Amino acid sequence: MTCTAVSTRPGGLQGKCLVQNIERSSGGFTLHTSRGIVRAGVVLLATNGYTTRSLGRLSHHVLPVPSFLVATRELDENIVLDLIPGRRMIVETRQRHCYYRASPDGKRIIFGGRAALFKPSDAFYERQLRTLMGGIFPKLRGVELTHRWWGKTGFTFATLPHVGKLEGIWHAMGYCGNGNSMAPWLGYKVALQILDDPEGDTAFAQIPLPTRWYYNGHPWFMPLADLRFRLHDFVANLAR
C-alpha cells in the first residue's frame, strides 16, 4: 500500500475513506486508510455491525447480523389500511422475527426480517421475505416487489448497546437492530466522555460487554444460529 498523509486539521472530515488498520503509536494511534495515513490522539469506533477484525479487539464483542427489507409496489391505500389498521409499526416475537409497516405515504407495505443470519444472494432473501410476508398477509402473495435492500446491524452478547473504551479505543456500538435513535444519543454521550465531561455518564457504559471463547471477530457460527432459530420457531409453532 502506498500511503500519503491525509489532512488531519482539527475538524477535518474525510468521506469514502476506509480505515484498514489501527496501530498504537507514540502519543496515540496511526490509522492506515484507503486514502493515506492518519495520526490521532483519540480514536472513536462507531462502526457497529461493520466492525471487522482489522479494527481490533472490539470485533470480538459485536456480531454482524444482517437485516433484509423489501417494499411492495404501490397498492390501493384501503388494502394497506386493511392489512395494517392504524398504520402501526409491527415487530414479532418469533426468534426469526419479521418487522413491517406501511410506507409513510400509506401506499406500500415495507417488510423486513431475518431472512438469513449470513449474506445470501439477493434472490434468496427476496424469496424468503416473500414467503414470510405471504404467510402473514395472504393477500400479498405474488404481489410485485419493487425494492429490496439489506445492511448489517451490530449485536452484543448482552443484547444491549455499549459505550466505553477498550484497549485505548473509544466505542459506541452494538445497537442490536435499534440504533436509529440510540446511535446519535450514545454518540453524543461518548463524545462527552472523551471530553471528560461527567454528563457523558450513561448506564450503557456500566453494563458488561461480554464476548465468547469461540468468537474472534469471524462469525463462522451464524448459519448454525440461523438453524437454531428456525428450529425454535418450528417447535413453537407445533406447540400452538
Ligand X SMILES: Cc1cc2nc3c(=O)[nH]c(=O)nc-3n(C[C@H](O)[C@H](O)[C@H](O)COP(=O)(O)OP(=O)(O)OC[C@H]3O[C@@H](n4cnc5c(N)ncnc54)[C@H](O)[C@@H]3O)c2cc1C
Given the rule CB under 6 A, which residues bind ligand X? Answer: 18-19, 46-50, 55, 67, 69, 150-151, 153, 173, 175, 177-180, 183
Report which residue's Cβ sits closest to ligand X: 179
Nearer to ligand X, 143 or 162 (CB): 162
CA pair distance 31, 38, nearest whole angstrom: 5
Pairing of strands 169-173, 44-45: parallel
Nearer to ligand X, 48 or 128 (CB): 48
Residues for the chain: how many in total?
A: 240
Which residues pair with residue 163 across a beta bridge?
172
In whole angstroms, the minimum distance from the beta carbon of 237 to ligand X comes to: 25
Nearer to ligand X, 143 or 154 (CB): 154
Q: Which residue has the cell 409499526?
A: 89
In whole angstroms, the minimum distance from the beta carbon of 173 to ligand X comes to: 6
**What's the grid cell of residue 108?**
406500500
CA pair distance 150, 156, nearest whole angstrom: 19
In whole angstroms, the minimum distance from the beta carbon of 91 to ligand X comes to: 9
Q: Write phi, then psi, for 104 (nearest 5 degrees).
A: -55, -30
Nearer to ligand X, 139 or 218 (CB): 218
In whole angstroms, the minimum distance from the beta carbon of 115 to ligand X comes to: 11
Nearer to ligand X, 151 or 210 (CB): 151
Nearer to ligand X, 88 or 240 (CB): 88
**Residue 192, SS3?**
helix
CA pair distance 42, 182, nearest whole angstrom: 22
In whole angstroms, the minimum distance from the beta carbon of 102 to ligand X comes to: 14
In whole angstroms, the minimum distance from the beta carbon of 111 to ligand X comes to: 11
CA pair distance 13, 41, nearest whole angstrom: 16
Is the distance from CB of 175 to CB of 48 less than 8 angstroms?
yes
